[in-house]
């Protein structure tokens, strides 16, 4: 056998082992996520709250309790979270929002939110209708591409 064949076989063996390890790790993480989702579903409750402010902040700057910061894995402490400051009843609380609904949360409005602990999973307007989603601004290159396609008569890419 030539040296090239041996090297390629070794690389192939390493790639197969890595794929098998990633497959089993993925299954384990999926089971963990399913258990956490079931626990969140069991603890959810609907609360009426006044949204004061919403921002994406680092975990240390968010104003969350120290116990929450200590339980967070060290790798995630530097990442930014969607944080919502809301008045729930007589007290002001800092809550973490689901990334999917963060943009649809209206500021300075009273809403009914589905909350599980300090995590907001869903938001409805005061009368049950979904709050309007704010349109994101288009970037410079996206606008330029749309203008060029419009001039050329092509259908714009969404």
pLDDT tens digits, one per residue of 55-100? 999 888 888 888 888 888 888 888 899 999 999 989 999 999 999 9
CA distance 107 to 66: 26
CA torsion, ordered 56, 58, 62, 65, to nearest 10 deg: 140
The Cα angle at residue 122 between residues 46 and 118, in degrees rounded to 5: 70
| All structural domains of the chain with their residue ranges | 1-43, 44-124
In this predicted model, what pLDDT tens digit does every residue of 102-132 receive, in sequence order? Answer: 988 888 889 999 999 889 999 987 655 555 5
The pLDDT value given to residue 16: 97
CA distance 126 to 109: 9
- pLDDT band (50, 70, 90) for residue 148: confident
Q: Under CATH, what is the fold of the domain 44-124?
A: OB fold (Dihydrolipoamide Acetyltransferase, E2P) (2.40.50)
Residue 43 Cα to chain centre, angstroms: 20
């Amino acid at each position: 056998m030539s040296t090239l064949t041996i090297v390629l076989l070794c690389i192939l063996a390493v790639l197969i082992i890595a794929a098998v390890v990633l497959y089993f790790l993925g299954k384990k993480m999926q089971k963990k996520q399913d258990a956490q989702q079931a626990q969140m579903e069991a603890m959810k409750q609907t609360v009426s709250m006044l949204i004061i402010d919403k921002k994406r902040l680092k975990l240390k700057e968010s104003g969350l309790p120290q116990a929450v910061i200590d339980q967070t894995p060290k790798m995630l402490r530097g990442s930014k979270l969607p944080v919502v400051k809301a008045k729930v009843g007589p007290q002001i609380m800092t809550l973490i929002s689901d990334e999917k609904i963060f943009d649809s949360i209206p500021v300075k409005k009273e809403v009914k939110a589905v909350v599980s602990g300090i995590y907001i999973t869903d938001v409805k307007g005061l009368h049950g209708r979904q709050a309007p989603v704010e349109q994101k601004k288009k970037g410079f290159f996206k606008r330029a591409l749309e203008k060029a396609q419009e001039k050329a008569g092509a259908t714009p890419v969404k």
